[in-house]
Structure formats: structure tokens, C-alpha cells
């Protein structure tokens, strides 16, 4: 089952990278928990359901121009998948180019994402799923 979870996450991650901001709903539970409370993002907090995820993305995406997201690593963690990705973009207000790496955990049940958790480091995310570097 865990390799199947990796493939599910790869599929919707690929859609996101290509600019598709709509197909994700079928891969996420209607009551998904979107937890970015451990991050340093201005939008840090916990969002609930599809509407919460949409609110997070509306707030996050409106601050960027030329945003690129590259998913670099998918780590099988059983019922969870750890993903390392890099974001690069120019701030709309400042014009400053920014690039950074994020590490996230997608928790799945029955082939759909039930929870998303974002971390500032790979080590923290791996520890959260019981793995180590």
C-alpha cells in the first residue's frame, strides 16, 4: 500500500507543478487537515477542508510572481509520504527573488490525503514519521 501512496502523491504533485490548481480535490478528503503551523510562512496555521486548502493557496499564491515548485524527493513512510520540494519565485510587492526548500508529510487513508503537515527541515519531517536521516 505504501508505494501506491507514493504514486498518488507523485501524480497530484506533477499536476501542481504543471500549473493545475483544480484536480487536487479528488485526491484529498473533504475534511482534510492542512497544517502549516510549524512553518515560518505568513499564512502559518491550520486549515480545514477543501475550502481551507483553497483559502491557504489563494493567500499564498497571490504574493508570488513567476512561482516555480519542484518536487525533488518522495519518501515512502507507510501510510505517509514525505516530500522534499523547492519553491522559487519573485515577491509581487518587493520584486525580490526568493528560493527555499520545504519538507511536507502527506498522511493518506484509503488512497486519499487526510492530513498535510509542513516542516522547516527534512530531519524534523522524518522524525515525525518515525524515520531518521
51, part of any domain: yes
In a domain, residue 29? The reply is yes
What is the reported pLDDT for 132? 83
In a domain, 38, yes or no: yes
Residue 133 lies in a domain: no
Q: Give the number of domains in the chain.
A: 1
Q: How far apart are CA 81 and CA 75, in angstroms?
A: 6
Answer whether residue 111 shows pLDDT above 90: yes
Would you state the cell numbers that stand for residue 98, as one nine-digit string?
526568493
Residue 95 lies in a domain: yes
**Which of 19-33, 72-86, 93-107 is predicted with the least confidence, judged by mean pLDDT?**
19-33
Backbone angles phi, psi at 6, to 5 degrees: -60, -45
pLDDT at 25: 83
pLDDT the model gives residue 77 = 96
Q: What is the pLDDT of residue 18?
A: 76
From the CB of residue 123, how many other CB atoms can be counted at a distance below 10 Å? Answer: 13
Q: Is residue 73 part of a domain?
A: yes
Would residue 91 count as lying in a domain? Answer: yes
- Nearest residue to 83 (alpha-carbon basis) of 2, 10, 24: 10
Q: Rounded to the nearest 10 degrees, how much is the dihedral formed by the CA atoms of 44, 48, 52, 53?
A: 80
Over 70: is that where the pLDDT of 43 sits? yes
Domain that includes residue 32, residue range: 2-128
pLDDT at 1 over 70: no
Segment 33-61 mean pLDDT = 88
Q: How far apart are the first and last CA of the chain?
A: 23
User: Helix, strand, or coil here: 61?
Assistant: helix
- Angle subtended at Cα 120 by Cα 49 and Cα 99, rounded to the nearest 5 degrees: 100
Percentage of the residues of the chain whose pLDDT score is greater than 90: 50
**Edge-to-edge strand ranges of the sheet holding 80-91:** 46-48, 28-35, 112-119, 97-109, 80-91, 64-77
Cell numbers that stand for 108 in this block: 493518506
Percent of the chain with pLDDT over 70: 98
Domain at 35, CATH number: 3.10.450.50
- Domain-embedded: residue 75: yes
Looking at residue 68, what is its pLDDT?
83
Amino acid at each position: 500500500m505504501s508505494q501506491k501512496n507514493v504514486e498518488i502523491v507523485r501524480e497530484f504533485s506533477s499536476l501542481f507543478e504543471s500549473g493545475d490548481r483544480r484536480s487536487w480535490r479528488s485526491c484529498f478528503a473533504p475534511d482534510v487537515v492542512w497544517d502549516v503551523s510549524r512553518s515560518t510562512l505568513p499564512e502559518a496555521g491550520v486549515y480545514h477542508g477543501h475550502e481551507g486548502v483553497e483559502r491557504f493557496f489563494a493567500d499564498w499564491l497571490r504574493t508570488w510572481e513567476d512561482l516555480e515548485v519542484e518536487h525533488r524527493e518522495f519518501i515512502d513512510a507507510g501510510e505517509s509520504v514525505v516530500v522534499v520540494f523547492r519553491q522559487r519565485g519573485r515577491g509581487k510587492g518587493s520584486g525580490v527573488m526568493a528560493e527555499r526548500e520545504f519538507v511536507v508529510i502527506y498522511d493518506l487513508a484509503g488512497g486519499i490525503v487526510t492530513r498535510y503537515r509542513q516542516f522547516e527541515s527534512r530531519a524534523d519531517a522524518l522524525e515525525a514519521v518515525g524515520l531518521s536521516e
